Amino acid sequence: MTAQGSVGQVVDAAVTLGHIREAHARIAARIHRTPVFTSMSLDEIAGAQLFFKCENLQKTGSFKIRGATNAVFSLSDEEAKNGVAAPSSGNHAAAMAQAARWRGVPAYIVMPSNSSPAKKEAVRFYGGQITECEPNIASREAVVAEVVRRTGAHLVHPYNDARVIAGQGTAAVELLEEIPNLDMVITPASGGGLLSGTSIAAKGMRPEIRVIGGEPLNADDAYRSLKSGKIEDAATAETMADGLRATLCPLTFSILRENVDEICRVSEDEIARSMLMLWERMKIVVEASGAVAAAPALFRKISKPGKRIGIILSGGNLDLRNLPFAAIPPR
Amino acid sequence: MTAQGSVGQVVDAAVTLGHIREAHARIAARIHRTPVFTSMSLDEIAGAQLFFKCENLQKTGSFKIRGATNAVFSLSDEEAKNGVAAPSSGNHAAAMAQAARWRGVPAYIVMPSNSSPAKKEAVRFYGGQITECEPNIASREAVVAEVVRRTGAHLVHPYNDARVIAGQGTAAVELLEEIPNLDMVITPASGGGLLSGTSIAAKGMRPEIRVIGGEPLNADDAYRSLKSGKIEDAATAETMADGLRATLCPLTFSILRENVDEICRVSEDEIARSMLMLWERMKIVVEASGAVAAAPALFRKISKPGKRIGIILSGGNLDLRNLPFAAIPPR
């Protein structure tokens, strides 16, 4: 496994269970081994036993700290000495800031100018230095290139990076170490980093396991990409699951084609209701993107449902002042 | 320790650490041993190390299942055979319904007619049978007496009951077993069941520990009662901490007078901000009454602050469609 050479260019991308185990050894002392929660009332709703891997309780509030920490601590001192850079408006941004602080180097985060104050504040809280770009891809790539040129920082893409994918796979390793006999595991699908890492870990540890991606119907590019055989655009991507607006890259697309059994699409209403169920029954704060992994089970939308289902709740960062619960009638 | 004979009448009320340990042995296999969470960012805010005992993650969503289960499983088969009865509009109601179901006997819950649909639904979910009363004390006592007479059920008061207090004390036993060297422990103060049980357990296991009650300024009857030396009314009790509107009873008053070092009053704004901090930083759903125990530490309002503070987050049951966060500006 070799790191990417420059933006979007992956030199040698094979990620194996061995790489994921190496990543786990590298990061385990810094991250939380998050708990696996269960709920009898949610099991009843799903008609299956559900095992929730609570990455919303992870450091920085999401699984992204796994990939970021693995990438940052994979660097040689020479590679790391000028710091690290990352384009992200969300959870990868905070994760990279925290990982860089642990490594003792600066983190240069390129964020769209319209990012929420809360997300900028989170990056600053973990010590990251923010450079703003316009909220479009051309501006982002130009600003990232400029920051890398100016600082000499090492770029870590949110998912088009084998080290990041290996790190994200460590959540599934922990889940399957704790609950070995799962029939399937579900994660959200976006850029595909978590789903890729999870699929390699899960099928490596348990070849008969089914790996499912949950995806918003309104941003179903992974579903369409696996159907058409080429990477499709996200189209409008008007979804409350704001962490799932990214599209696949060649690396994650090739892993998903090989490993993922099904992409299960869920409506905005199903996402909101799943969030509410998770909050009400398990008393945990799960962001909409995390609920997207639970919705296929809670609404029984999986084509070949299993009896024991692992669900990776990806994160818990969201604006608590603006929640999508008001329109849902009480049971 | 003997159970109460009839409504409000406690026959022999001495509760000791020994009773609490017996209660723990009686209930441990049925309840969750809830986790103790920590947060570096909340520690910074408080200027102390905080250890949150997460009873919001407890079965039925609050610590009340501890006292209810201990009371219900303390009964002889003869005492239990006609079921149990309880007056409660809140967490004790759901807890009694669940405990009775475990025991295999009916639970008759007397709830005010204006209880929220969600709370009634929770009681039914756990198998409780609801009898409505008017929302005043006279009606409640009359209906409870009628239900007990009609059914022969055994009454379990929410806190004026030594078995209930012993059960509530088991949360502090677990907390101190896990984090032995606490300087103080804080719980919410309402009827005083949790605070009484906590104080007996904590001072029994660690005599030098300070025991603090958090109480809404708008329902500060425990504060005023300990000051005046007699049980004071709750006055208006207009507080978002709707679990804390009860007043002390002779049993809890006498325990609190002996054991509690300080009642620390917090404003509605401090309660709402503490809730938001707990949700944002720890990604857990904590009801307003639970946040009342955290607020004295987070707002540094304790007169002799300790370095290591245990906080019992009492529950996580609340209406998620109506949260008090909108008025709090982002940091």
- DSSP bridge partners of A263: A213
pLDDT digits over A199-233, tens only?
999 999 999 999 999 999 999 999 999 999 999 98
Question: What is the gyration radius of the CA atoms in chain B, in angstroms?
Answer: 18
Task: Write the DSSP symbol of residue B55.
Answer: G
Chain B nearest CA to A82, separation (Å): 27
Q: Give the separation between CA B194 and CA B175, rounded to whole angstroms.
A: 14
- Does the annotation mark B289 as catalytic? no
pLDDT averaged over every residue in chain B:
92
Is the predicted pLDDT of residue B44 greater than 90, yes or no? yes
Q: Tell me the percentage of chain B whose pLDDT exceeds 90.
A: 82
Whose CA is closest to B306, among B204, B188, B179? Answer: B179
CA distance B125 to B128: 7
Q: Of A125, A284, A328, which is closest to B283 when you measure between CB atoms?
A: A284
What's the ipTM? 0.91
Q: Which of B188, B275, B190 is nearest to B237 (CA)?
A: B190
The model's pLDDT over A16-33, given as tens digits with 9 standing for 90+, comes to 999 999 999 999 999 999
> Among B17, B1, B8, which Cα is nearest to B246's?
B8
Label residue A2 by pLDDT band (50, 70, 90).
Answer: very low
From A89, A196, A225, A314, the catalytic residue: A89
Tokens of B331: 């940091």
Residue B160's pLDDT is 93
Q: For the domain A65-155, what is the CATH code? A: 3.40.50.1100
pLDDT score for B331: 62
Q: What is the average per-residue pLDDT within A231-242?
A: 82
Question: Picking from A4-13, B127-136, B231-240, B268-277, which range would have the lowest pLDDT averaged per residue?
Answer: A4-13
Summarize the confidence of residues B190-215 as an average pLDDT: 97
Per the CB < 8 A criterion, the answer to whether B188 and B194 are in contact is yes
Told to judge if B230 belongs to the known catalytic residues of this protein, a careful annotator would answer no
Q: What is d(CA B124, CA B10) in angstroms, rounded to the nearest whole number? A: 29
The pLDDT of residue B131 = 96
Residue type for position B208: E
Local structure of A130: helix, strand or coil: strand
Cβ contact, residue pair B284, A284, below 8 Å = yes
% of chain A residues with pLDDT over 70:
95
Q: How confident is the model at residue B3 (pLDDT cuts 50, 70, 90)?
A: very low
Sign of the dihedral defined by the CA atoms of residues B92, B97, B98, B99, in that order: positive
Q: Considering only alpha carbons, which residue of chain B is nearest residue A54?
A: B283
Residue A328 has pLDDT above 90, yes or no: no
The structure's pTM equals 0.92
> Which chain B residues are Cβ-neighbours of A41 within 8 angstroms?
125
pLDDT in tens, B287-303: 999 999 999 999 999 99
Note the Cα B17 to chain centre separation in Å.
18
Mutate to test the interface with A, among B33, B283, B321 (most CBs of A within 10 A): B283
pLDDT at position B1, please? 42
Two tokens at B321?
Answer: 């469609």
How far is residue A234's CA from residue A237's CA, in Å, rounded to a whole number?
A: 6
CATH class name, domain B17-62+162-313: alpha beta
Q: Sorting pLDDT into bands at 50, 70 and 90, what band is B95?
A: very high
Residues on chain A bordering chain B, Cβ-to-Cβ distance under 8 angstroms = 35, 41, 56-57, 61, 117-118, 121, 125, 276, 279-280, 282-286, 316, 320-321, 323, 325-326, 328, 330-331
Q: Tell me if A321 and B320 make a contact (CB, 8 A cut-off).
A: no
Min CA distance, A157 vs chain B (Å)? 26
CB A3 within 8 A of CB A11: yes
Query: Which tokens is A61 given?
Result: 């509030």
- Long-range contact list for A105-111, CB < 8 A, 24+ apart? A105/A72, A105/A80, A105/A81, A106/A82, A106/A151, A106/A153, A107/A83, A108/A83, A108/A84, A108/A147, A108/A151, A108/A153, A109/A85, A110/A85, A110/A86, A110/A140, A110/A143, A110/A144, A110/A147, A111/A87
Domain locations in chain B as residue ranges: 17-62+162-313, 65-155
Distance CA A129, CA A142 (A): 17
Interval B228-241 mean pLDDT: 85
CB contact under 8 A, A57 and B283: yes
Please tell me if the domain spanning A17-62+162-313 has the same topology as the one spanning A65-155: yes
Of B57, B276, B321, which is closest to A283 when you measure between CB atoms?
Answer: B57
Mean pLDDT over A283-304 rounds to 96
Q: For residue range B176-189, what is the model confidence (pLDDT) as tens digits?
A: 999 999 999 999 99
| pLDDT given for residue B235 in this prediction | 67
What is the average pLDDT value for chain A, to the nearest integer? 92
Q: Are A112 and A142 in contact (CB under 8 A)?
A: no
DSSP B109-164: EEEETTS-HHHHHHHHHTT-EEEEE-SSHHHHHHHHHHHHHHH-PEE--SSSSHHH
Q: Kindly list the residues from chain A whose CB atom is less than 8 angstroms away from the CB atom of residue B331.
A: 118, 121
A199: CB partners within 8 A, 6+ apart: A211, A255, A256, A259, A260
